[in-house]
Amino acid sequence: MKHILIDADTGIDDSLAILYALRSPNFYVEGITTCFGNNCAEQSADNCLRLIQLAKCGYDVPVAVGANESLDGVFGSAPAYIHGDNGIGNVELPETTQEPINETACDFIIRKAQELKGELIIITTGRMTNLAMALEKDASLPKKVKKVVAIGGCYKVPGNVSPYAEANIHGDARAADMVFKAGFNLTVVGLDVTMKTFITQADVDNLCEYCLEECRPIAEYIKKALRFYFEFHRVTMGMAHASVVHDPLAMLIAEDPSLGVYEMVRAGVEYQSEKFSGMITTDDGFVPVLDREEIAICIQVDSVKAVRRLFSVFQNMEPGRYNKKKN
């Protein structure tokens, strides 16, 4: 059982990652912290609370509201045509009586790391602002956290907000640079692999046909949310009834690192140059600068296995279930 904390800007792909984590028997979700990105931190928190209720994971999952702007005071939100006005494809999930806890995201991160004594895995699916703010308060945090898995960046491929940068890293490049250089056991899952991993309408149809009865409301939500997300991909990328897989891939790799192949590098993030802001920079010199720990950047992934696993937690996977004789 892996104890995880999810830091999210809860959009459509974040919601799939969160639902997977809440239903996976291999995870115990210690809490969710939210930040700006796909929407504001408060809307992200509201989405998380509704998703927790939808998942029916059987235990309490606290939600802490975090940063609404970058370390440099800039707020940037994704256009509504990507994730909808509410961040989850304009799907209206039932309200919940649960409320966010009275604790900031960065304080919650520090507290959970202290309580779990080196067993906490942090998975970031948005900007790294909350984690950087926690670092500013507790520089020893990397020694208290087992691992960080982050969605973000473009290593050997073009970016999606500029030729050099991916949205999550670009959204708070200084925060990302801090995290990259802090000494965390860090795995970065970026566009190099997420843009080669796809969910199709056939995957959704398969989910809806074979989902567990208790997961039928989850399957219906996924179907509606992905309909919105598929349309964005059709208009912007020419993809028919399909989307790339960003945030869920970080969750899957956090659960099973063998899904990926990694390159170990000493890296940082450019944040002072406007043109190159958000670009991952590596120490490629003949004489290395040994001023930081290496991080793992995912460069290949078993995309077919990843997508099958993503939906498996919502399905009845009993062997031979549909081949049994009827009395």
Q: Which active-site residues does the annotation give?
A: 9, 246
Tokens 């609370």, residue located: 49
Q: What is the Cα–Cα distance from 154 to 167, expressed in whole angstroms?
A: 10
> Which run of H or of E encompasses 139?
none
Task: Locate 198 and state its tokens.
Answer: 């796809």
Q: Which of 177, 149, 126, 119 is nearest to 260 (CA)?
A: 149
Distance CA 219, CA 213 (A): 10
Q: How far apart are CA 233 and CA 222, in angstroms?
A: 16
Q: Are 1 and 116 in contact (CB under 8 A)?
A: no
What would you report as the CA-atom Rg of the chain, rounded to the nearest whole angstrom?
A: 19
Which residues, 6 or more positions from 155, have their beta carbon under 8 angstroms from its beta carbon?
188, 190, 192, 263, 280, 297, 299
Q: What is the dihedral of CA 117, 146, 288, 139, to 10 degrees?
A: -40
Taking a C-beta distance cutoff of 8 angstroms, is the pair 41, 24 a contact? no
- The crossing angle, in degrees rounded to 10, of helices 173-181 and 129-137 is 50
Q: Are strands 242-244 and 198-200 parallel, antiparallel or unpaired?
A: antiparallel
User: Are residues 96 and 49 in contact, defined by beta-carbon separation less than 8 angstroms?
Assistant: yes
In the structure encoding, which two tokens stand for residue 59, read together? 């235990």
Torsion sign, CA atoms 215, 219, 225, 226: positive
Among candidates 256, 251, 248, 257, which has minimal Cα distance to 197?
248
